Each structure stands twice: as structure tokens, then as C-alpha cells.
Structure 1
Amino acid sequence: MRHTLPIAPQFYVTAPQPCPYLEGRMERKLFTALQGEMADKLNDSLSKQGFRRSQNVLYRPSCAECSACMSARIDVSLFTPSRSQRRVNKRADHLKRRATSPWATEDQYALFRKYLDGRHATGGMADMDMFEFAAMVEETPIRSRLIEYEEDNSLRAVCLTDILDDGLSMVYSFFDPDLEKLSLGTYIILDHIKIAQDLGLPYVYLGYWVPGSPKMGYKAKFKGLEVYTGGAWKQLSDPSEHDADVHPLSTDPIAEQVARIHLPDGRN
């Protein structure tokens, strides 16, 4: 009888390109493929180490002279809504939530286009067509759901959400930009906190928090926020303690980063 060891994931680095969060910076990502029968376990393990999923790829920032981007998650046991967040919940509590399989529809794409045109007209996703949108939604080898929010049978907001062994990971969300008074971006996060609490899951993963980036400042407003920095999750007590200064020694060499990654089978 022949015994074979599982093939360890191979890690790669993207070429530098302009940073979407901090002007004048260049970003670089460390990434690996997400596939095979170990996909769920790999996603669970690497998400706890600051990685994010995009279709069949797991990645995290690995910029040469900058370590501003930090993966962020909310410890739902420590979360209490602020006064303004309670108002957001009250204003949007008429929306109906529906969880569906990750299957793209024309209504979703129409809302997605309206969101991009209103909020991110010059962003990297601005030219996505229906086929690319469908790939973003449907190409997932793990447990994923589309969380839809409706009002009078009209789609108002959507979030592509992964179900991890320790929480919910908000992969991508979009909403009607005309409904600014509802603060739908904040409401989606608040509702995911509620879902996690109902399911007994300890965390809601939000993506990256970037000090110095106005686009990411809202994440620091959620109590119980943790950031992944220095190889560990730490409570974000004071956002001003973190900066976005550039320094040539702010990140370790790629080989050292990869050597410290823990895989699901216990290997590095």
C-alpha cells in the first residue's frame, strides 16, 4: 500500500502595484490557491492569520516597506453598539434579511453596478461585467452565503459571506448608495454581529483596517475590534496608536513570513 502526504500549499507574491488605500504607496500581496478537499480547513486556518479570500485565492498584504494594512475582526462578546449604531439599527430594522446560496442574479448585478458607479467609479472593480461579477460570487470552494436585504421586494444591500469555524467573514458587501440615511454599510456589519451571536460564533471578520485611510476609518468605530499585527490578534484600544509610516524594516522577508504560516495539519 502506498501512502502519500498531502501537498502543502504553495505561496506566491504579486508584482507591486499602486495601493488603493494610501496615496503614493505600492502594494504587494502574498497569496496561495484555495482548492481541494482541505479548502475549508485551509481557509479557516489562514483567516486566523490575517488572510482574506477572493474567489479561489487566499491573500494578505506583504508590502516591501509598509505594514499599515491589518486584518480586522470583531469579538462579538465584547461588542456593544454605540448610540449612533443603535440609531442605524432602528432606521433599517424594516429591511428583510434572506440568506441564499452563492448564485449571482441580474438584480444583484444591477445593485452592484449602481454601488460602484456611486461610490467607487474609479476603483479597480469599476469595469466588472456580469460574468466577472458571477465569478466573484460563485467561485467559492468553501461554505459561502449571499445575505440579501430587501424592502418592498426591492434589493437594497447584499453581502457575500463565508462561514468559518470561528466566525463570519464578510468577503464583499454592496448597497444602494441613494439610501445614505440608512447607513447600510454599518447596518450590514451590525446585522452580521447579530447573526454570529445567534450562531454562537465568536468573530466577524471585516477585511482590512488601514490607519490613515479615510475609506477604512469606519471599522475602528466598532467596539471589540481586534487587528492582526506582529503575528497575533490584539484589541484595538486607541486607533491613533497605529500609524501608516513607511519604513524599510517594517515587514519581514517573504521567506520568513511563509515559514511562520501554520497549516491545518500542524505543519509550517
Structure 2
Amino acid sequence: MRHTLPIAPQFYVTAPQPCPYLEGRMERKLFTSLQGNGVEQLNSSLSQQGFRRSQNVLYRPSCSDCSACMSARINVDAFKPTRSQRKTHNRSRYLERRATSPWATEDQYALFREYLDQRHADGGMADMDVFEYAAMVEETPIRTRVIEYMDPERNALTAVALTDVLEDGLSMVYSFYTPDLPQNSLGTFMVLDHIEIAREAGLPYVYLGYWVAGSQKMGYKANFSGLEVYFGGQWTPLKDPAAFEAEDHPLSSAPIAEQVANIHLPQGQHPSKR
């Protein structure tokens, strides 16, 4: 008997687990696999609807009693750097950018471990070994780049971004950097540099992952002008972050079946929930 991949993506829901952003809440994710033909179009289409990629899986929050997590992106044309951001960019302009194929290296993993051990020792990725790191970087069915930032004087890898190239922008899947240069604000610098890359490539957006209303850990994303969040089925400019603080209310989340029914797929495909 011959087995073929489903014509349309199948959507699944994870079991609830403690939320890493808001204390006392539970998180749940809606997800589907990136497989078969048309994965580039599927990744772009679902990214435009608030999904994120992790290896060969696309997911977005689908919590039963909270909708505080919202996908965030920067509208490149609307972005205007602040004085502080201009200083941050100029402070690290000496770094040399190098875009490569999604291939993991020992230098990357050493920097990754240093970053986790000092910045996120209690996070969900803290126990990742070299093989799991390689899978995170290399297991991608779409157009992905590893963007390295080198210190030319020390010939040292200083920062890394794993970045997907979408139809309408760049998606920063994951980034990390040396914790020894806090004055350089390297996380902010990489976002600013991705805005430059997108502008040079004629791409209108830089996708940043999730902004979480009420979470101090994710608050830095609101510092970028031109930020939009995916809220209520559409992209909305984030003019006043405090206006979204109340979105951690149980009635603010649509039922799963309704969420799946409202997902738009490329080429007229129809999603289904399993």
C-alpha cells in the first residue's frame, strides 16, 4: 500500500504546561508540521498569521484562558531608530556580518552554551546538548540562514542569529550572543541589523517572535517603533502596550475549532484539526 502525505496540513494541540512568561498561567500551542510540497509558501502564509517555526514545526499560542502572547513584527518603513538605538548600532558596527547556510559549528555551540549558562540557566533550552543544537539549526525544510557576527580584531564569534527568509520579510527564529559585552546591547543590535538587511532586500517586515503583554522578559520588543502585533486575526500597530494588558482574560481566546477554521492556507487548501 502506498502512503502519501496529507494534501492539507493537519493541526494539533499540545497538552497544557506552565507558562514561561506569566506566573500562575498555563500555556498550550496549536501546531502543524512543515512537510511535503509547498513548505516555503506554508511557512510564509502561517507566519503572516502569527505562527513561528521550530525545526519542521509551525506553532502559535492557543491557551484556553489567556491570549497575552502575540506574534510581533517590525514594519521596516515605519521604523525610526531612537537616539539610544542609534548609539547601540554604532557601538557594534565594527562587527563583520557573515551569512551562511544553516550549518552548526563548534564555535556556535560554545557561544550558545555561554549565552544560556549566563542568561537563561533556568530556561527551557538550558539542557540542550550539541546534537540538539545542531538539530535546531540544521533541521529546516525552508530557506534559512545563519547570520554570524565576527569581531575581526579578535577573530571571535560574537553573536549569531538563525533567520528564515519569508515572502514578506525576515523571521528571527533564535539569536544569541556573548554575555561579556552588556554595554553593546547585542540583542538590540542584531534586530537593528536585520532591519537594515530587510530594507536592502526590499522586504517589508522583520518578525521577532512573540511579544507578551505583562511580561517584563518580552517588554524590550515594544521599544522598536513600527512594531505590529497579530491580534484578533489581523496585524495591529502597537501604539500603547498597556492597552493589551487585559488580554490575559479567559473570554479573550477563541475555541480551537474556530481558530483552525479561520486559518488561511496557500493554494486554497483547507486546514483540519486532529
**What is the TM-score with the length of structure 1 in the denominator?**
0.97
C-alpha RMSD over aligned residues: 1.2
Give the aligned partner of residue 163 of structure 2: 161
Pick from 187, 203, 225 the counterpart of residue 223 of structure 1.
225
Deviation at 1:240, TM superposition (A): 1.1
The one-character-per-residue Cα deviations of 1:188-237 (angstroms, maximum 9, x if unpaired) are: 00000000000000000000000111110000000000000000001111
Write the mapping of 1:1-268 to structure 2, written as runs, cut at 5 A.
7-151=7-151, 152-244=154-246, 246-268=248-270
Structure 1 residue runs of 4 or more that deviate by more than 6 Å after TM superposition: none
Query: Aligned residues, how many?
Result: 265
What is the DSSP-based 3-state SS (H/G/I as helix, E as strand, rest coil) of the residue aligned with 2:252? coil
Residues 49-94 of structure 1: per-residue CA shift (max 9 Å, x gap): 0000000000000000000000000000001100000000111000
The 3-state SS of whatever aligns with 1:41 is helix
Question: Cα gap change, 1:10/1:104 in structure 2, threshold over 3 Å: closer, same or farther?
Answer: same
The one-letter code of the counterpart of 1:153 is: N
Partners of 2:112 and 2:125 in 1: how far apart? 10
Q: Secondary structure at the match of 2:78?
A: coil
The answer as to whether partners of 2:27 and 2:63 remain within 8 angstroms in 1 is: yes
Tell me, which stretches of 5 or more residues in structure 1 are unaligned?
A: none
SS of the equivalent of 2:267 reads coil
Deviation at 1:5, TM superposition (A): 11
Contact 2:5 2:36 in 1 (8 A): no
* Alpha-carbon distance in structure 2 between the residues aligned to 1:21 and 1:95: 32
2 CA distance for matches of 1:6 and 1:38?
A: 12
Contact 1:22 1:213 in 2 (8 A): yes
Paired residues of 2:33 and 2:56 also in contact (CA < 8 A): yes
SS at match of 1:74: strand
With 244-253 and 227-236 compared, the bigger mean Cα shift is at 244-253
Taking the aligned partners of 1:70 and 1:5, their CA distance within structure 2 comes to: 30
* CA distance in structure 2 between the aligned counterparts of 1:204 and 1:101, rounded to whole angstroms: 19
Tell me how far apart the structure 2 counterparts of residues 5 and 132 of structure 1 sit (CA, whole Å). 26
Aligned residues of 1:66 and 1:244 also touching (Cα < 8 A):
no
Contact 1:156 1:175 in 2 (8 A): yes
Q: Rate the CA distance shift 1:237–1:200 in 2: closer, same or farther, 3 A.
A: same
Matched to 1:9, the amino acid is P
AA paired with 1:49? Q
Taking the aligned partners of 1:260 and 1:173, their CA distance within structure 2 comes to: 31
**In 2, Cα distance between the equivalents of 1:8 and 1:126?**
35
CA shift, 1:247, in A, is: 2.5
Contact 2:213–2:247 at 8 Å: present in 1 too? Answer: no
Q: Gaps (5+ residues) in structure 2?
A: none
Counterpart secondary structure, 1:249: helix
TM-score w.r.t. structure 2 length? Answer: 0.95
- Contact 1:67–1:244 at 8 Å: present in 2 too? no
Task: Work out the CA distance in 2 between the residues paired with 1:246 and 1:100.
Answer: 40
